[in-house]
Amino acid sequence: MLKKISAVCLAFFGLGSASAQTDSAKKATTTFTGSVDVYYRFNFNDPPAGTNNYTSFTNSKNSFELGMASIRVDHTIGKVSATADIGFGRRAQEFSYNDVGTTLTAVKQAFVSYAVSDKLKFSFGKWATHCGWELLDAYANRNYSMSYGFSFGPFFHTGIKADFSLGGKTAMMLGVANPVDYVSAPANNSAKMLIAQLSTASKNDKLKAYLNFHGGTGITQFNLVVSGTLSSEWSLAYDGSLNTSKVTDQNSSWKSHALYVNYDPSGKLGLTLRGDYFDDRKLAPLLGSARKVFATTLSGNIRIDNLTIIPELRLDNASGDSFIKGNGTATRSTAGFILAAVYRF
């Protein structure tokens, strides 16, 4: 009996040793990436006060500004991984606006992941939202200024999610998160939100579609993103949202539509025309007296190695007097110019 027990123990420790050797043989990889973006914005109305801006990250006038300096670290070993994405500047602060005054504004993303298999992965932490076409990092967008749909959010989620591969190009994400744009659930609202995404693409990836959702805590939003490559020079993207909110005594029901037309005559030069429509039928908390606004933005992308220079012209037209003229009177429209430089490494 003692010999049998000893044999079993030896076998167990042998398996443990083999497992340890296997684990120690796993190759760990660490990747560092980062970016820096700066810009100058001038509003042609040149109002005596204010900036004539109702979208994110470019709320300045006749000033050179730091958009954001950021660094991202991704570490992977075996089936587990971790991401720490840190940023400093106007973009990072406005992205984590509920954490202004704390060091958490610098944490753009921070999450850990475990890939159970090639068809299922869990992630736990804070990550940028799955909703919408535009992203926080300037290098990921062809327009430097942001759309109204992006600016009304959501920006990020903190919680746990599961990514499922459904076969082929189709995948699904389901998750539970804190109230939108909160790292820590507020004391008066600890309820959780459901987040979800269904994505698919054509075999050659020239057509992609994402149906997104987040809901709970008085908010329900559906979002659809579709992108298509027409040729080596032309591509299109559409981003549309429908949001209903019941928060305290204020009810909001807004919709947004953005269409992006991209033209790349060469690898060194690109042009993007964005048409951006926003309509809040019940409440206009960011637009003054207007409930509707349409913005047209034309951006150039001049690429020099890792540097992209973005000259941009933008025209905003609202249904009410939401902007200010140089003489201080109200007006329905405004125009502006941005010169931005974005470097990625």
Residue 23 in any domain: the answer is: no
Number of independent structural domains in the chain: 1
Preceding amide of 47 cis, omega within 30: no
Q: CA-to-CA distance for 334 and 54, rounded, in angstroms?
A: 11
Residue 220 in any domain: the answer is: yes
CATH number, position 69: 2.40.160.10
**Lowest model confidence (mean pLDDT) among 71-75, 236-240, 327-331:** 327-331
Q: CA-to-CA distance for 114 and 162, rounded, in angstroms?
A: 10
Tokens of 216: 């709970």
Residue 19 in any domain: the answer is: no
Domain extent for 334: 28-344
Residue 284 in any domain: the answer is: yes
The total of other beta-carbon atoms located within 10 Å of residue 123's CB is 19
**Lowest model confidence (mean pLDDT) among 1-5, 103-107, 261-265:** 1-5
Residue 90 in any domain: the answer is: yes
Residue 20 in any domain: the answer is: no
Residue 39 in any domain: the answer is: yes
Higher pLDDT, 22 or 174: 174
- Tell me what the pLDDT averaged over the chain comes to: 90
pLDDT of residue 22: 45
pLDDT in tens, 174-222: 999 999 999 998 887 778 999 999 999 999 999 999 999 999 888 899 9
Residue 272 in any domain: the answer is: yes
Q: CA-to-CA distance for 266 and 303, rounded, in angstroms?
A: 10
Query: pTM for the complete prediction?
Result: 0.89
Q: CA-to-CA distance for 222 and 244, rounded, in angstroms?
A: 9
**Lowest model confidence (mean pLDDT) among 12-21, 119-128, 184-193, 259-268:** 12-21
